[in-house]
């Protein structure tokens, strides 16, 4: 094109020059051939993608080794023989504090996404709140945790599906890691809050979890200066979980959790050991998402009527608590409804438990013979715990703490305190003595044969060490108790109210039935009101606190 335009441009220029009586410019030389373009520079090769092994080796403060790593065409990454040991000051691996994984598989592992979450160097600049999928599925098997030379935890297999994370609100690792938090003591709370806030999973499961810990030895190794560490009694705590299924987890919101085949064994000196087992159980409705900002800041959340947490509903099936030498408590089913909250306080919860107590066989029982004689066959039992809280009225109540054993009777306690209005809670550390109050208190005892049995056992216990001829009978103990009641009535001034209380107590000792003893002041009493009673006559004290006793004859 340029070659065709050149003659035309020259001619036009000559014509214009002639018209202007100006010599035309010389004709330009023929252009030389164009030089060949330089060879294209190939683009720089992208840095190799981070692999599972390089990510493991980038973990701070640890030494990582592994046997093999493979990636197949389907996107499955497999790493075997992984050992993650704490790094000693000289840089070598600490064999007494390590995590080992026999086999690990990750489907569609996004190593760059993992590096973005856990690599401190990538936390510079604008905070990143984007969630990234780290893997479609992560499976680890043959897991073992060694702490201070003890193998404290093993897991047969753990599977996580749909694992997503976003960068934390802190920079992971580094020599100044703990300086990012309010204090070393609060660091764990903040880290846990950030971890929950940054994690999503579609589902998960764990099978064959076994923990075995010598708590005393572990404490002495980890914190020898801790008070009581040197005197911790010996004993191995053992915990086993056959299987846990975890529903979706989304930034502090938990799907249904199902656990199966739970067992534990713990020393209980001087009685022996406690064994727990549960066939199956579940929890559903846990939600801590609204309290995560406070956890991450290590601050109390702002007081609000809105519930900030939920622990959901739960059920346990075939639960057995066995105390060696005493017996076992078997509960076929124990369920609890979801607990309503205001702020972080439960406004009502009810725990009803019913089951059967089976005494230890005669040859294994550690009970003295006079007590074991009353525990020769299974007995039904019941436990009921119920509490309420009124944030507007500021009253918290232990509605029931009830224990009932067949052929003995029941014990129930009620207690109510005031001065707990929600908006005034931050001031309680300063003004609790002027604010907290006693509203009422009550103890109820129902006799179903227990009074006579307890008197008989008490007499036998005294007689076991009594001098010859100094034996005491259950009837004599009952008379002593009645005399004590009479002395109490006299100390209270022998007022009609005191006499009525004494009669109720003596009737219960003599005839059984139901006895209620309590206090119900005319108005809630704070600390100063009790101080003002010092030196007052017993009758006035009785009247002020509203002391009473009521007896109901047996059916």
Residue 107 within a domain: no
Closest CA to 268 of 325, 230, 229, 320: 325
Which is more confident, 404 or 13? 404
What φ, ψ does residue 529 adopt, rounded to 5°? Answer: -65, -35
Residue 484 within a domain: yes
Burial class (CB in 10 A: 0-12, 13-18, 19+), 468: exposed
Q: What is the mean pLDDT of the chain?
A: 89
Number of domains in the chain: 1
Q: Of all helices (H) and strands (E), which one includes residue 552?
A: strand 547-552
Per-residue three-class SS string for 87-132: ECCCCCEEEEEEEEEEEEEEECCCHHHHHHHHCHHHHCCCCCCCCE
Cα–Cα separations (whole angstroms), residue 332 to 67, 79, 264 = 48, 44, 18
Q: What angle do CA 147, 153, 159 make, to 5 degrees?
A: 130
Rounded-to-integer distance, Cα 459 and Cα 453, Å: 10
271 in Cβ contact with 323 (< 8 Å): yes
- Sign of the alpha-carbon torsion through 414, 419, 424, 430: negative
Residue 507 DSSP SS3: helix
Rounded-to-integer distance, Cα 82 and Cα 1, Å: 69
Rounded-to-integer distance, Cα 41 and Cα 45, Å: 12
pLDDT at 36: 55
Q: Containing domain of residue 482, as a range? A: 447-552
pLDDT at 34: 46
Which pair of structure tokens corresponds to residue 391? 């944030």
pLDDT at 222: 78
pLDDT at position 175 over 80:
no
Cα–Cα separations (whole angstroms), residue 521 to 92, 201, 544 = 69, 54, 6
pLDDT at 43: 53
Which pair of structure tokens corresponds to residue 554? 């047996």
Which of these ranges, 107-111, 121-125, 202-206, 264-268, has the smallest mean pLDDT? 121-125
Place of tokens 């199966």: 260
Rounded-to-integer distance, Cα 198 and Cα 294, Å: 15
233 in Cβ contact with 255 (< 8 Å): no
pLDDT at 49: 52
pLDDT at position 22 over 70:
no
Place of tokens 């109820």: 444
Closest CA to 264 of 281, 276, 278, 279: 276
Rounded-to-integer distance, Cα 511 and Cα 525, Å: 35
Question: What is the tens place of the pLDDT at every residue in 416-475?
Answer: 999 999 999 999 999 999 999 999 999 999 999 999 999 999 999 999 887 877 889 999
pLDDT at 50: 56
Question: What is the tens place of the pLDDT at every residue in 457-473?
Answer: 999 999 988 787 788 99
Place of tokens 């560490």: 229
Question: What is the tens place of the pLDDT at every residue in 75-118?
Answer: 999 999 999 999 999 999 999 999 999 999 999 999 899 989 98
Q: pLDDT tier at 29 (50, 70, 90 boundaries)?
A: very low
Residue 451 within a domain: yes
Q: pLDDT tier at 124 (50, 70, 90 boundaries)?
A: confident
pLDDT at 501: 96
Cα–Cα separations (whole angstroms), residue 68 to 30, 47, 115, 347, 466 = 69, 22, 20, 55, 75
Residue 475 within a domain: yes
Residue 193 within a domain: no
pLDDT at position 371 over 50:
yes
384 in Cβ contact with 355 (< 8 Å): no
Which of these ranges, 206-210, 445-449, 465-469, 527-531, has the smallest mean pLDDT? 465-469
Residue 67 within a domain: no
Q: pLDDT tier at 396 (50, 70, 90 boundaries)?
A: very high
- Sign of the alpha-carbon torsion through 128, 60, 57, 121: positive
Beta strands in 215-252 (DSSP E): 236-246, 249-250
Which pair of structure tokens corresponds to residue 488? 């109490």
Residue 221 within a domain: no
Q: pLDDT tier at 37 (50, 70, 90 boundaries)?
A: low
Neighbours of 248 (CB within 10 A): 15
Instruction: Output helix, strand, coil percentages for the chain, rounded to the nearest 5.
Output: 25, 40, 30
Residue 135 DSSP SS3: strand
Residue 506 within a domain: yes
Which is more confident, 240 or 28? 240
Beta strands in 391-512 (DSSP E): 395-405, 409-418, 437-447
Per-residue three-class SS string for 336-393: ECCCCEEECEECEEEEEEEEEEEECCCCCCCCCHHHHCCCCCCEEEEEEEEEEEECCC
Closest CA to 286 of 249, 317, 316: 249
Averaged over 58-70, what is the pLDDT? 88
pLDDT at 256: 98
Which stretches within 234-344 are classed as H helix?
A: 292-297
418: β partners: 437
Question: What is the tens place of the pLDDT at every residue in 250-293?
Answer: 999 999 999 999 999 998 877 788 999 999 999 999 999 999 99
Question: What is the tens place of the pLDDT at every residue in 249-261?
Answer: 999 999 999 999 9
pLDDT at 33: 46
pLDDT at 268: 82
Closest CA to 250 of 292, 202, 215, 200: 200
**For the chain, percent of residues with pLDDT exceeding 70:** 89
């Amino acid at each position: 094109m340029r070659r065709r335009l050149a003659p035309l441009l020259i001619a036009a220029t000559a014509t214009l020059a002639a018209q202007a009586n100006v010599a035309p410019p010389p004709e330009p030389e023929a252009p030389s051939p164009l030089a060949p373009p330089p060879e294209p520079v190939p683009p720089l090769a992208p840095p190799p993608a981070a692999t599972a092994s390089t990510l493991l080796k980038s973990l701070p403060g640890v030494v990582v080794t592994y046997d093999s790593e493979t990636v197949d065409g389907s996107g499955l990454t497999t790493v075997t023989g992984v050992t993650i040991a704490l790094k000693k000051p000289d840089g070598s691996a600490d064999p007494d504090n390590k995590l080992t994984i026999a086999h690990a598989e990750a489907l569609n592992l996004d190593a760059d996404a993992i590096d973005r979450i856990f690599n401190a160097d990538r936390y510079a600049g604008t905070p990143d709140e984007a969630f990234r999928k780290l893997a479609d599925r992560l499976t680890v098997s043959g897991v073992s945790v060694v702490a201070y030379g003890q193998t404290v935890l093993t897991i047969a297999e753990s599977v996580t599906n749909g694992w997503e994370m976003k960068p934390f609100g802190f920079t992971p690792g580094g020599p100044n890691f703990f300086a990012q938090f309010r204090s070393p003591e609060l660091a764990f709370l903040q880290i846990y809050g950030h971890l929950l806030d940054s994690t999503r999973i579609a589902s998960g499961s764990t099978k064959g979890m076994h923990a075995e810990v010598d708590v005393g030895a572990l404490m002495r190794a980890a914190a020898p200066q801790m008070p009581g560490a040197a005197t911790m009694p010996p004993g191995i705590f053992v915990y086993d979980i056959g299987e846990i299924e975890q529903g979706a987890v989304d930034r502090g919101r938990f799907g249904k959790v199902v656990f199966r085949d739970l067992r534990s064994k713990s020393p209980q000196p001087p009685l022996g050991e406690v064994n727990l087992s549960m066939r199956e159980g579940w929890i559903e409705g846990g939600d801590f998402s609204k309290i995560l900002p406070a956890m991450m800041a290590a601050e109390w959340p702002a007081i609000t009527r809105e519930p900030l947490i939920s622990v959901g509903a739960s059920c346990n099936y075939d639960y057995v608590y066995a105390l060696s030498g005493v017996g076992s408590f078997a509960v076929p089913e124990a369920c609890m409804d979801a607990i309503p909250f205001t702020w972080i306080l439960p406004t009502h919860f009810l725990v009803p438990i019913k089951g059967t107590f089976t005494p230890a066989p005669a040859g294994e029982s550690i009970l003295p013979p006079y007590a074991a004689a009353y525990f020769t066959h299974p007995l039904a039992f019941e436990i009921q715990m119920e509490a309420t809280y009124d944030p507007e009225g500021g009253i918290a109540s232990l509605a029931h703490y009830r224990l009932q054993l067949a052929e003995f009777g029941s014990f129930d306690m009620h207690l109510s305190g005031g001065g707990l209005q929600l908006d005034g809670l931050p001031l309680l550390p300063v003004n609790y003595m002027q604010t907290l109050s006693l509203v009422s208190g009550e103890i109820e005892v129902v006799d179903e044969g227990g009074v006579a049995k307890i008197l008989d056992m008490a007499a036998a216990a005294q007689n076991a060490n009594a001098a010859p001829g100094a034996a005491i009978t259950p009837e004599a103990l009952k008379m002593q108790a009645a005399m004590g009641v009479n002395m109490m009535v006299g100390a209270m001034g022998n007022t009609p109210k005191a006499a009525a209380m004494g009669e109720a107590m003596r009737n219960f000792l003599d005839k059984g039935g139901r006895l209620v003893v309590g206090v119900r002041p005319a108005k809630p009493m704070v600390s100063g009101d009790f101080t003002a009673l010092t030196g007052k006559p017993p009758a006035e004290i009785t009247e002020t606190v509203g002391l009473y006793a009521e007896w109901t004859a047996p059916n």
